[in-house]
Structure 1
Amino acid sequence: MRILGLELRRSAALGAALITVVIGVGALYVATGRWSVGWMALAMTIREYLLLLWPLALAAGAWQGRREHRAKVGELFTTTARPRAQRMLPVLGAMALTLAIAYLLVTGAGIAWIITTAQHLPLLNFAVVTGVGALSLVAAAWLGLGVGRMLPALVTAPALGVAGVLLVFFSAVRLDDWLAAALTPVHGSSPFHAYQTIDNRVSGSLAISMAALAVTGLLLFVAGGWRGRTAALVPLVLGLTTAIAVVPRDEDVLNWPIDPVARELVCTEDTPTVCVSRVHGNLLEALTPLAREGLTILSKLPDAPTAVHEDTNAYVSGDVRPVGDDVVTIEIRTDERGGLAHPAAVVPMLVKRLGVGYDGTCQNGDEVVERAAAYWLMGREPQSDVGIVPGMIFEDPQINAEAVRLWQGLRELPDDEALARVTAVRDALLACADVTGLLPGSAR
């Protein structure tokens, strides 16, 4: 322990850990909205940031690996009776300990941000994803130690850092999905939907390859000659072969898999019913009054929806599930603190298509007609979607101008007739029929 303490003070281990924490926490807090939804989003985002942290650990290990050459004590140490491996273990331990703790500190900084809002905690899955991320960081450092000792040039560390970035990036985007999942720690970590996870079988195959990489780095670091260095490749080959053999081949498992428990709906006990996914359970209280306001507006229509559900479809993976006509769905977004983002958009988004969901198969919609009808129900003049619909940054001004004109035409009609026209628009949307010409003044 005394020797380990000396290594912690005198080696590059603490410096590498400090850089890891600073860059990791900084990257997290620059874009908190990417992972504020919950625990798995946090774990995957940190894994994604290994695109930066993994090459840094590789370079730090290489810098530390050339210490004996830099101090010109290599020949002196070879004359001692102490075995080479015994001399190297404190360095290996210091790098592994500090970088693993650094990874956990980055994770802890993220947990501190979401601890009061995140509710759904898949403990085993979260621990596995986090543990494999820490293991991959240790593997990078140990591989760097081995390469740095074998090639103790000043340029080795920066060259390995650059090579690490290229290796991780191109492995993730160029290799087949199943191969990338077994070899690179960032595969499948980019969050595309709130219910996303990383399958434990994928994490298991990656853990095998990272452990093999770590053992190879260790053997390279303690090897005394070319035979030892050649033998160091054996665990790497065996580990990568095993990882490739056991990694799943199913695209639904490899890319953006869904945690079914996170997607389960939790609902209000009273009616009108409002439901959100379990991962968004903390938003139910804030969403409920807004959702019920939207249902009250839609209740002017005959056979109007009587419940609001979060849209839990995972469109990126093609997992789309239909809902009944009595349910209107809404996409839920979280803000940087894990709360309900864009609350002012909830009611307009619920009424936008008169409570009719959009499944991508019906192409007979008309934005102008739908907007005029929706705003007539809301009792206010139509507005551009820019500034209301999240993510909308541009819209042809003519769309809203035409919607205002049709809305004014509805207002000139008796209420019963105007309601009948709006109802006809909704019926057409439900039947995937053409809505053009259903409002007074619209083109036929």
Structure 2
Amino acid sequence: MTQQGLKIAVIGGGSSYTPELIEGFILNYATFPVREIVLVDIEPGRRKLSIVGQLARRMVAKSGLPITVKLTLDRREALAGADFVSTQMRVGMLEARGWDETIPLKYGMIGQETTGPGGMMKALRTIPVLLDVARDMEELCPDAWLLNFTNPAGMVTEAVNKYSRIRTIGLCNSPIAAYKWLSQLYKVPIERISCEFAGLNHLHYISRIEIDGESKLEELLDNRDGYSARNVPQYEWNGALLRTLNAIPSYYLKYFYLHRELLAEQQAAAARGETRAETVQRLEEELFELYQDVNLAEKPKQLEQRGGAYYSEAAVRLMNSLHNDKGDIQTLNVANNGILDFLPDDACIEVNCRVQRSGPVPLPVQTVPEAAKGLIHAVKTYEQLAIRAAVTGSRDLALTALAHHPLVPSVSAAEKMLNEMLERNKAYLGRFFMDEAAVR
């Protein structure tokens, strides 16, 4: 940080989420004085970067704050001297998300961008790029924090932790969405609510919910609709399951506990041409149409229809707490280091942390549902195998990862699916084709 203020680099600056982030910096300027925001993207994202960047500049101008917004396609320029680096990128853009969602369905498997085979393909595309970003940071801003919102957030964060020297933290909007749900349900401010999260990114359980110190968990177990997200189909939780777990599962766990129902719904939606990727594509087009309005100088309400609502609130709060050594409690993706005794120390987990200037300190977890430990361990085994596959380009490791994922019922089907998905993603997965290139 210079005397003038902080420099923030946003990787994937042309994202539709960027106005949320800009709004967060404006609202928190008094305690988090941002001097310069650099939005960086790649050549195919130039148009979106320009549109979002101009809106960001209008938002800052309206605020009257001395913040400079820069746009660039030069990542190294953006990273040089940065205090914080935020990532919100999508390697392969929405076209690749469409592959993640539809190819597994052909083989009778869940198609989703962060869970199951589609999530693995997103990880294989994303991890090498994030490690390239980390290597640039080691040279250009070695003391900066890398705050990763790019999915699958837990796997990407774990990879950066393992294969670089950069300080990184993963974050997700799911925990803050849970707090928003509880705040609206009980009509109390979030500050009076306390929850314990335990598990992995998109695979956590809320095992404690208190308002002013009074437990609300038991009564909420009967509210089986629970908190959810726009990008996860809605089915009511089974009451006996929730009572036995004595916890509220992440809405992404419906892919595991209601596998058959969600798979059938996905297959029907794909047949109608209504995948989530196509829905998001339409939302994005509407948003960017709005963003081009020269009279617009604030985040439009329509942005909340995207799956990542509240992201900026979580991201800016984390930056603010790190910068000001606040010591407040936030739910983050960090290295396990003994917190969950049934997982390796280097596993990235999603738990409550006390945020200090030196970094987040995971808090001891009081309760993990016994019945959930096996599922958490199985998914973490898959994740660690998939991370190694992403780094090495090993098809064998990728197949072994899929074979150990609870949502993959057949290794032979998985092998056929993997070959098709790799071929479709060939432009982004060169290391998986190196032997083939050597033969030619």
The reply to whether TM is greater than 0.5 is no
User: Could you say which structure has the greater relative contact order, defined with CA pairs below 8 angstroms and 6 or more residues apart?
Assistant: 2
**Structure with more of its chain in strand, by fraction:** 2
Q: Which has the larger radius of gyration?
A: 1
TM-score, length-normalised on structure 1?
A: 0.22
**Structure with more of its chain in helix, by fraction:** 1
TM-score, length-normalised on structure 2?
A: 0.23
